[in-house]
Structure formats: C-alpha cells, structure tokens
C-alpha cells in the first residue's frame, strides 16, 4: 500500500513545473480581488445591516447585539431565536476554533509564525465581544485538546519540540489518583492511555489509568453515576464497547457484531444506556445502535431519523452528531440543517435551523452554539427548551 | 535575496514534492497542482511572514491542504445539489487501470484520513507532529491512519497487512 502511494506521488512529481510567473500572476489577482473586496464589504455591511433589521423575527430583537454580515439565512422555526455574533477578531489566521461543551468557545489565533495568541470567551450569555486574550504561547505550539466546563476551559498545547503546557480559566491542581470518578465531572483522553477528569465543584483534576488495549480506545464517556464507557476500534476488527463501574479496575465488554462495526463517530448517552452512531466505509451514517441489556439494537427506524440515515456523513472529521448534557442529541446533516432530538426519545426530531457551514458545534439544555467555517462567525440558538421542540 | 526571490527559490526546490503529496491528499493531479500553486501565491502575498517561518515547505503544505480541503467542501456542496454531475472525473490517456483505481479509492476516503496518510507516509511526519500540525489529539491521528489504510486496502481489494498500531510511529 505504502509503495503504491509513494509511486503515485513520485509519478506526480514528474509533471512539468509551471513557470513561476503563473504564481506571480495569481498572487497579483488575489491582491486585486482583496482590494475590491474591501470596498464591496463596506457596502454589504451597510446594506446587509438594513436587511437584517427588516427580516429578523421580532423575538430576535432581544438577542444583544447581533450583526448579520453574511448572506441571509432561510427562516428559522418560529420558536427558535437565532443570532449571529461577529467575533471580535479581525487579524491573523485562525488556527483552531473549538466550541466546547457546555457552550464555551476557544479560539486560537495565529498572528505570525513565531508567536501565537490564545483567545477564549464564554458564550453562555451570548454577549458578543466578550472574547479576550487568555495568554500568549510562544515557540509555535498548537492545541492538542481542550475541554470546556461551566466556568471556563482547559486547553493543552503541544509543541513540535514535544513540550506541552496548559492554560485554563480556573485554578489548576496537580493530578492525583482516585478510585472512582466524581459525578458532574469533565474528562479528556490522554495520549498515554489514561484520561483526566476535572471536577468543577472542587476545581480538582484527577488522572485515571486505562489498560493499554488493542484496538486502541477511541472514545470515552463518563456517566453521572460514575460509569466509564470506552469504545475501541481500529477499523478492521469489530468494535468493542466496554464499561467499568469501579474507576477502571474491572471492565465488562460489549462487542458489536461485525456487521455493525464499520466506523464510529462518538459515544452517546441515551435513556440510561450507551449509543453508538455507526457509519459505513463510505462515511455515511447507517444507524444508531443502543445497548439494550446485553444486545445491540438499532434506534427505531421510523420518524425523521429514517430520513436522516444516509444523509449524514463524516465530513473531514468534523463533529456532526453529538450528545447534549441532558441526554438529547443534535446533528447536522449534509445540507447543513441542524436537527435536535428530545432526551427521552431519539426518534422525535425537529429541525432547529438551516445554517451556513459550521466548523464546530456544541450545546446545552437551551443553548446551541456553532462556529461558522469562516472562523469568524458564531451562531447561537437560544430561548427555547430542546424539550419543547421535541 | 528579496522576499520574492526567496519564494521562488522554495518554489524551485519544493513544488514537485508538494504536488506529489497533494496528489495523494486530493486524489487528483489537477487539484494538487492548483492547490500548491495557490499556496505559493499566498506565500508571495505574505512573503515577509513566509520568510520568517521555521519550515517553509511545511507552511506551504498546510496552506495547500487547507485550500484543497475548502475546495473539497465546496465541491461536496455543489455535487449534493447536482448529483448527476458528480463523479465525472477524466484521467490522462496514459493512466493505467491500476492508477485510476488508486485515485478513485483515495477520493472515497474522508479527507482527514487522506491527510493523515500523506503526512505520515509521504511527508514522514511522526504522529505527534501530525497531531500538532492538525490540532487534534495523537489518538485521533492514529485512528485516521489506521482507518484510512484499512479502508484503502478494502477499496482496492488488497490484504491489509500494515495495520498494526505498532507501525505507527508515535515519535
């Protein structure tokens, strides 16, 4: 396999090299378009602002202050308030945008190759302009992972030199071993096979060791009752879902049948058991399997889910299906519609809105937040309970 | 050497290699050439910044992949609206069936898996370096590599013999 790829690359390298003047011409064209675009943008902002004021639903007026700077979006469902926020970032290149649960946004901006500025902001209240610099990280590290929690976020940065450092919004306490996860905790996987739990109530961090497994653990889920769920797969063998009630000391394995083992998006929590979205090798959603006792069964194929199946693809690894903190579910289909399902039944779906392409999504009981793939625009839906829409 | 000359020097040294890598990332020579030229055009427009990078070729590769990725997203949206126009790729007359099969198989992989394969097998980056470049955890990179190779082997009807995680160099 590797030889064939290398051969393909080498053959491509034999193609004629275009004259450098073609690149120069292209660069000049970019500069001309950029200058024209700046002039046009000034007109669009003025005109677009007027259009937005005329077309936004009345209840959206209470969403403070919203700037509609892109093309108009299709109408939203009547009960959903929707707003867009122009993030107060206008320089540099966005390196990473993470919408973290439960409603925080972490944005890492690259100002120049030799220094990185990290910005973060809370979006629970939806106050635009609340983003502020959290710290400056030098020597070119990039984020290796982040976790949001109620009063801030924790982000790990990994440098090419192997060094890592973390920034967070609250006090950070050295890791300690404990025997059982605490409810109301946030966790993240570590590269060494363990995972880390943050306990917001006490601002404590805990470290858990997990067995080194083959296939590797790809996803983790920690329930309020303290049960750890893991998903192991390598794309070849049937995936294994395992659970532990005692902090990782003993495990019960729940292998998925081979015909249900293709690709997996994440682990979901539903009605007291675990759920797994199953994708085909083509990256298209086939079903959502839930563990019923010791059997895996598909979510009932009636209702809108039947219409969704086959329309959800794993697009460039972007999150398009995720569990909400209350057990509900939201997904974004290939047409960039955002759907949500009530916590008690994943067979009752409602279209929340149709959006522009979204880079990242997160949500809580009554707030859904997305970050547009222009890396500048945040989308927010507030003022309605997910349950009311179910 | 002024900034423009610096970009040109890198162009002469790195263009072919980058196109080779982007062909695997995109499954198309035309898309690869276009993305790489676009990356050099942006380097020209940000020549001062580009000159200060530690690794210009890595900078160009990231930009080219971003260009290819965003175009892929747009094409995907377009083909979603116009399904009958999708999949009408033309190939060079001298493309062998084997080569066409490989390109078609690459196109069917998720872009993230293709990128991981390129960065690991062609750019010789270690998992940790790929994770840092893409801004994802190492575990995600390993999974993309593993799944990408498995899917590629399945699409090509090959025995997948190089899947073991031990062959993924953690660095």
**How confident is the model over A162-201, as pLDDT tens digits?**
334 444 544 444 444 444 555 555 555 555 555 666 655 5
Q: Which chain A residues have a beta carbon less than 8 Å from that of B129?
A: 160
* Res. B9 pLDDT band, cuts 50 70 90: confident
Q: Are strands A368-372 and A358-363 parallel, antiparallel or unpaired?
A: antiparallel
> Does residue B138 or residue A326 have the better pLDDT?
B138
User: Would the CB atoms of B29 and A143 count as touching at under 8 Å?
Assistant: no
Return the H-helix or E-strand segment holding A7: helix A2-13
A214, B165 in Cβ contact below 8 A?
yes
**pLDDT tops 80 at residue A84:** no
A214 interaction partners in chain B (CB closer than 8 Å)? 165
Residue A33, min C-alpha distance to chain B (Å): 12
Kindly give, in sequence order, each residue whose CB lies less than 8 Å from that of residue B49, ignoring residues fewer than 6 positions away: A112, A113
Residue A15's pLDDT is: 73
- Of A6-15, A79-88, B159-168, highest mean pLDDT: A6-15
Residue given tokens 């100002």 in the structure block: A111
Helix/strand/coil for A52: helix
Length of chain A: 390
What residues does each domain of chain B span? 1-88, 91-171
| Gap from B139 CA to chain A (nearest CA, Å) | 7
Give the whole-angstrom CA distance, residue B72 versus residue B88: 15
Q: Which structure tokens are listed for A302?
A: 């009636």
Q: Using 50, 70 and 90 to split pLDDT, how confident is the model at A30?
A: low
| Whether the predicted model's global pTM rises above the 0.80 cut | no
SS (H, E, C) chain B: CCHHHHHHHHHHHHHHHHHHHHHHHHCCHHHHHHHHHHHHHHHHHCHHHHHCCCCHHHHHHHHHHHHHHHHHHHHHHHHHHCHHHCCCCCCCCCCCHHHHHHHHHHHHCCHHHHHHHHHHHHCCCCHHHHHHHHCCCHHHHHHHHHHHHHHHHHHHCCCCCCCCHHHCCCC
Q: Hey, of A11, A16, A19, A20, which one would you mutate to test binding to chain B, going by the most B CBs within 10 A of its CB?
A: A20
Task: Choose the closest CB to A113 out of B53, B153, B156.
Answer: B53
Nearest CA in chain B to A357: B73
Asked if B21 is an interface residue toward chain A (Cβ–Cβ < 8 A), one would say yes
Q: What is the pLDDT of residue A360?
A: 58
Cβ–Cβ gap A144/B80 under 8 Å: no
Query: Among A243, A210, A245, which residue's Cα sits nearest to residue A226?
Result: A245
Considering only residues B27 and B158, tell me which one the structure prediction assigns the higher pLDDT.
Answer: B27
Q: B121 and chain A: CB distance < 8 Å anywhere?
A: yes
CB-based contacts of A313: which residues, under 8 Å, 6+ apart? A279, A282, A283, A284, A285, A320, A334
> Residue A90's pLDDT band (boundaries 50, 70, 90)?
very low
Contact B139 A218 (CB under 8 A): yes
Q: Sheet containing A81-86: give its strands across.
A: A81-86, A377-382, A368-372, A358-363
pLDDT band of B151, cuts 50, 70, 90: confident
Is B110 an 8 Å CB contact of chain A?
yes
> Which sign, positive or negative, has the C-alpha torsion A3, A4, A9, A11?
positive
Centre a 10 Å sphere on the Cβ of residue A157 and count the other Cβ atoms it contains. Answer: 24
Average the pLDDT over B82-101 and give the result: 46
Instruction: Compute the C-alpha angle B111/A264/A231, nearest 5°.
Output: 130
**Cα gap A272→A294, rounded to integer Å:** 13
Backbone angles phi, psi at B60, to 5 degrees: -65, -40
**Lowest-pLDDT range of A282-291, A314-323, B134-143:** A314-323
For B91-171, give the CATH class. Answer: mainly alpha
State the best of B99, B100, B110, B125 to mutate against chain A, taking most chain A CBs within 10 Å. B110
Task: List pLDDT tens digits, range A367-386.
Answer: 566 666 555 565 665 544 33
What is d(CA B103, CA B126) in angstroms, rounded to the nearest whole number? 24
Average pLDDT for residues B143-168, to the nearest whole number?
Answer: 64
Residue A233 vs residue A334, higher pLDDT:
A233
- Kindly report the length of chain B: 171
Contact between A331 and A350 under an 8 Å Cβ cutoff? The reply is no
Say which residue, B121 or A190, is predicted with more confidence: B121
Partner A, chain B 31-70, Cβ-Cβ below 8 Å: 32-33, 37-38, 40-42, 44-45, 49, 52-54, 59, 69-70
Residue B87 corresponds to which tokens in the numbers above?
């999949």
pLDDT surpassing 60 at residue B61: yes
Of A8, A236, A315, the CB nearest to B163: A236
CA triple A63-A68-A74, angle to 5 deg: 90
Residue among A7, A13, A27 with most chain B CBs within 10 A, to mutate:
A27
B132–A235 CB contact, under 8 Å: no
pLDDT at A19 over 60: yes
Of A2, A27, A334, the CB nearest to B41: A27
Residues of chain B with C-beta less than 8 angstroms from the C-beta of A18? 33, 37
Strand partners of residue A157: A143, A165
Instruction: Tell me which H or E stretch contains A50.
Output: helix A20-55
Nearest to A23 among B20, B37, B138 (CB): B37
Cβ neighbours for A207, distance < 8 A, ≥ 6 positions apart: A175, A176, A177, A190, A194, A195, A196, A197
**Which helix (H) or strand (E) covers residue A273, if one does?**
strand A273-279
Q: Say whether pLDDT at A65 is over 60.
A: no
Determine contact, residues A87/A376, Cβ cutoff 8 Å. Answer: yes
Q: Which residues of A touch B20 (CB under 8 A)?
A: 8-13
d(C-alpha B100, C-alpha B86), whole Å: 16
Which class for A59: exposed (0-12), middle (13-18), buried (19 or more C-beta within 10 A)?
middle
Distances (CA, A) of A238 to A54, A262, B109: 54, 8, 20
Q: Which of A11-25, A246-260, A293-307 has the lowest average pLDDT?
A: A293-307
Nearest to B61 by CA among B133, B113, B149, B168: B133
How many C-alpha atoms does A302 have within 13 Å on its Cβ side?
1
* β-bridge pairing A152-158 and A164-168: antiparallel
Angstrom CA distances, A229 to A111, A301, A378, stand at 39, 25, 32
Contact list in B for residue A14 (CB cut-off 8 A) is 16
| B121–A5 CB contact, under 8 Å | yes
pLDDT tens for A108-125 read: 544 333 344 455 444 433
Q: What token pair was written down for A187?
A: 């966790």
Looking at chain A, the whole-number percentage of residues with pLDDT higher than 70 is: 19
Interface pTM (ipTM) of the complex? 0.70
């Amino acid at each position: 396999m590797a030889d064939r790829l290398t051969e393909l690359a080498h053959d491509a390298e034999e193609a004629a090299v275009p004259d450098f003047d073609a690149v120069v011409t292209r660069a000049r064209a970019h500069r001309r378009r950029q200058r024209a675009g700046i002039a046009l943008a000034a007109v669009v902002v003025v005109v677009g602002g007027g259009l937005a004021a005329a077309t936004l639903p009345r209840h959206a007026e209470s969403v403070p202050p919203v700037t509609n700077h892109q093309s108009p979006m299709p109408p939203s469902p009547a009960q959903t308030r929707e707003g867009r926020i122009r993030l107060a970032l206008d320089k540099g290149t966005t390196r990473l945008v993470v919408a973290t649960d439960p409603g925080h946004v972490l944005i890492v901006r690259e100002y120049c190759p030799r220094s990185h500025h990290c910005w973060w902001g809370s979006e629970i209240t939806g106050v635009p302009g609340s983003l502020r610099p959290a710290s400056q990280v030098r020597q070119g590290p990039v984020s290796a992972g982040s976790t949001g929690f109620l009063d801030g976020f924790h982000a790990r940065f990994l440098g090419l030199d192997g060094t890592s450092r973390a920034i967070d919004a609250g006090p950070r306490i050295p890791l300690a071993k404990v025997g059982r996860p605490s409810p109301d905790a946030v966790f993240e996987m570590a590269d060494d096979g363990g995972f880390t739990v943050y306990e917001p109530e006490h601002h404590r961090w805990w470290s858990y060791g997990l067995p080194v497994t083959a296939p590797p653990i790809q996803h983790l889920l920690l329930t309020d009752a303290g049960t750890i769920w893991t998903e192991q797969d390598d794309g070849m063998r049937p995936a294994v879902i395992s659970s532990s009630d005692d902090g990782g000391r003993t495990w019960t394995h729940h292998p998925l049948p081979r015909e249900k083992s293709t690709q997996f998006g994440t682990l979901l929590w539903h009605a007291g058991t675990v759920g797994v979205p199953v994708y085909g090798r083509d990256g298209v959603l086939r079903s959502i399997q839930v563990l019923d006792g010791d059997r895996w069964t598909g979510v009932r194929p009636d209702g809108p889910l039947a219409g969704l199946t086959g329309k959800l693809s794993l697009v460039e690894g972007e999150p398009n299906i995720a569990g909400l903190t209350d057990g509900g579910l939201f997904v974004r289909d290939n047409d960039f519609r955002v759907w949500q399902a009530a916590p008690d039944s994943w067979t009752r779906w409602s279209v929340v809105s149709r959006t522009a392409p979204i880079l990242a999504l997160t949500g809580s009981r009554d707030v859904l937040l997305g970050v547009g793939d222009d890396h500048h625009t945040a989308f927010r839906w507030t003022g309605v309970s997910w349950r009311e829409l179910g | 050497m002024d900034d423009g000359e610096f970009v040109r020097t890198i162009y002469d040294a790195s263009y072919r290699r980058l196109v080779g890598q982007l062909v695997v990332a995109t499954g198309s020579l035309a898309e690869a050439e276009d993305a790489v030229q676009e990356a050099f055009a942006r380097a020209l427009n940000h020549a001062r910044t580009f000159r200060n990078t530690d690794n210009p070729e890595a900078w160009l590769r990231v930009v080219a992949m971003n260009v290819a990725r965003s175009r892929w997203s747009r094409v995907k949206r377009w083909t979603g609206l116009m399904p009958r126009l999708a999949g009408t790729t033309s190939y060079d007359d001298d493309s062998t069936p084997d080569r066409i099969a490989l390109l078609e198989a690459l196109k069917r992989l998720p872009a993230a898996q293709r990128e991981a394969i390129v960065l690991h097998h062609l750019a010789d980056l270690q998992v940790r370096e790929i994770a840092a470049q893409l801004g994802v955890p190492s575990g995600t990179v390993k999974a993309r590599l593993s799944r990408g190779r498995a899917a590629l082997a399945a699409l090509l009807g090959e025995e997948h013999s190089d899947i073991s995680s031990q062959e993924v160099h953690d660095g």
